[in-house]
Structure 1
């Protein structure tokens, strides 16, 4: 798509999230920009509502409807519908964020090619109607179907845009100004005259687009929109072969059925219209699918690869007029009437040379015979030959009295006419009941939501059979009918079959087992393989599980859960962090308890200390204030008190010598004279006793008795 970058809105950051990159297009309701979603790092289409629509007494109601319809459009999940991601208000700016579809629009394709090949036209119609059918099943009417809203991506597939917003604008405009918004070239007559519309209004717009794709022009043109609207209301959309005579009758029937002036003459919704398109494709000669109109400025028309010739009747004054009576599936009586009632004198499509079969179908009050000519090749195409009374008469006398020969000739002609009339009546009745409208009946309208047994009983009551397919569905209980093909009101051959799509209920999925204890990546892969969506994980500390392993699952392992369940994993961060406390100087038991209470794993060894009393902690590893985690080991050294040393034996030694020996061994010496002071100063006793194997704590007191 061509982009315009001169808009002052370009470069703005909307709602703190969407960075406007460039302008894509501007319409009567909003401007569309290419933007970057900074949060999700993806390109989006940002649709900004024109500020003036939110002004005045009706502005608040318009914004409310804008938001409500945006939510309705976001509920459409279909590959052919442009997805709605978000909606919001930033200051005075109301916006939608939608899927960005790089490519082009059907309008640009038509501007470049003017008309499309028949096969390509039918392919686009099928994709457009398939997308609209998804909306119609949700009760949402587009209301502004036009080539500008049909996006064609880079792979050639269709995405329909602007669901919901068109409805909001239409309601607001109708309330405020009694004006109908929409592109007048594609508006249904009922929307113009009364403002009311339903799914059939979208079908009408698709019919007009089909005419435009096949012929390269619109069915109605005028100098003003009012002139075009007047034609929509007062005229039937002409068959496309009026301007492109080579187009087959099946396409006339299709276009006139989709774009019938009366809503009751159209397919009931896009689903029924899609069935009609597919039946039309099946009825066409494959050689026609590659042909394409080549509209010329002079008004002449032709088809690529073939000559559009005008075939005249061999009878003087007679002109062949195409009658669109090909039996095409669910085509309505209104569509057939529109195709048959053409202006006499239109050129007939070129047909293969063959011997025609001619049957009289009626005589008008002015003695005009209408002859139906059917190709002998059985291609199903019929032509009407209008012959005036003068074409059948013979010359008579000047006085007006027919001669006997003239009377016999005229009688012969009338007998011929009568025979043709009777034969035509028989053929017409046979066609009516075998291939025409009389061969079809309407699908009952009370099947969706009924149980399978109830639906089959209802169909048998009207002599219809049923085929059943099953599918999971979140809305319809198991055993009830989700949809029918054809849909309610659609046409099906009498004693034919209606396809029932029966609900299996909510799809249930089995939660894998063995998730707890595995890595988060492994558990996520197992859940996704089972069909579940996995939410953002919850993290928690664990003394037992390594970081990254699953601690818990939000649903029971091995249980059965709805497919829409979002499963959440609790993932381990490993042990919690902890600061190592100071325990040096504490008694051993108190130190061990303080460390254990914090989740640490303490251990202790004993050692002698001349400075720390026995039973107290001498040192710790790691030291006080160190950062660790629960479960970390802390090593303690607990004092045994001073070391034990051998006590020297001082018996019989001079007190001075004995005192020196004890002090050198690390003892404190206390000298006593129990018998008084003596000049000998000999040790005769000590406590504790000394000698080999006799020990005492270093620094303890040894008493010696001297005489």
Structure 2
């Protein structure tokens, strides 16, 4: 079966279980793109027509159950001689595996599981469905701890033929109720007895009845008492033991009267006020527990009947002395017996003849009636409901009969089976997951599902996903939808949003960080010293220049000024100045160069006396300074200031240039060739000579 495509729709993946009647496989539903479990009838039962008919009917009954603790039945089908049921796939373990791994379970966990099983049984019993095979193997525990009861109704499909073929009753004898073991009719209370055994096993790790053969176990259910659970596991509260004791009474009348009653007990048994409640005492022993049952063997009842008849004959045989007296009456007795037998035979012939005469009835119109109404009408006429098929029909509301196996007005025999076809709710499909598909691919997938083209709309928004792919969908993936009625909206990615990079140089850190945050960009901070940029402000931005296009979320590295380097010196240099002529105004302009830059303006002053101005210089190991003085827009003097001299305190004290010949208007041309003079202008050449002398003093 592995790899086989069943029904043109279900791809068999692997075998996940099996029992006496069927094998269970995990499969992929190719139409709805989901996993399902498929139960396939074993080959030895495919020729039992009665079994197959009841098998389908019971599967249809189980499909009518809709409860969170019941495994859902999706479909029933046949492919050649393969009969199968499609059901919900539950990812997890069955309770039998959990009991084997870690029994005894914690009391609260066992009670929680039993409560969910009981809730499922209550729902089933209200729908006139008896499980008849409650055992840990049929209890599935999903990943989230959700309990799912499976195999509803399958045990009811057993016939006398299948029992004979297999040599045993279908189901597990360890979980049989006494009435089940007897072979009499079982009902709701039989399911509750089995649930009591399951709770017993969860809390003790053992079964209440064990034996060398199924027959011996069945007899123990009928005759023997089980070891009380608190003797096996003293951690069980008395309130919980009471539930087990009551559910496992051999007399059904002493058990819970309904699953609802047992569920209410389970829901309250762990309350503090109930844990140490008194032990349940029953007025008398189960009448079934003291009854001695003979070993159950084929044909036992017939042989026993014959044997009892012979023993009774011997017991009634008259004593020897009375035999002679009765000989004379024997002919009359035999004549009477003969007449009686003839009368009985005539009566039986008349009776069976009457029974064989089945009345005809006219087939009523059932189409358009509710299913319950149709059933009642058939019952009223002495007809029986055969197979009920549920199938969607757009012309009829759910629950309405729209086909009947016998045409209205035809004559049918009383007791005939009438098959009905009933409309169901329109089948819904699961919304596919369209994420990461292109808009066109998403549309094609929806159209293939039956969604109308005009019902599909789309919009765009920025995202981290690839441009042109689906990032949102409404309805969401796996939502149940009606393809013909649903409206679908798809949101398509426009790719990552971009912004224009601003100029952040010169901003302080708070202002720069705020701008980047507003643009959705990430700040990476660096720091370095600077002579030109104030401490705490941006020196440089990288790798994006102002005006560059940047994706939101990108990282931007900003270098902030930490101020002047540690080895820089702030040196105050005193600059002497004097007017061109005493007591007459002269305009003095000072320009300086230091580590902060070239030809920086200090300022302009008007003087008419000798003065000394202070110029602050920032000096560094590779950045010496200089001060140039302009008087009346002519260079008056230039003073170099060495970093080393400033650091060592050996900077020469500057002196005013002197003039020796006021008649000379121009400096001596030879002065410009003297490398010791940076530059002096004066009224005559004598002034230049004086500057040479000053230079020599500065270098001393």
TM-score of the two chains, using structure 2 as the length reference: 0.41
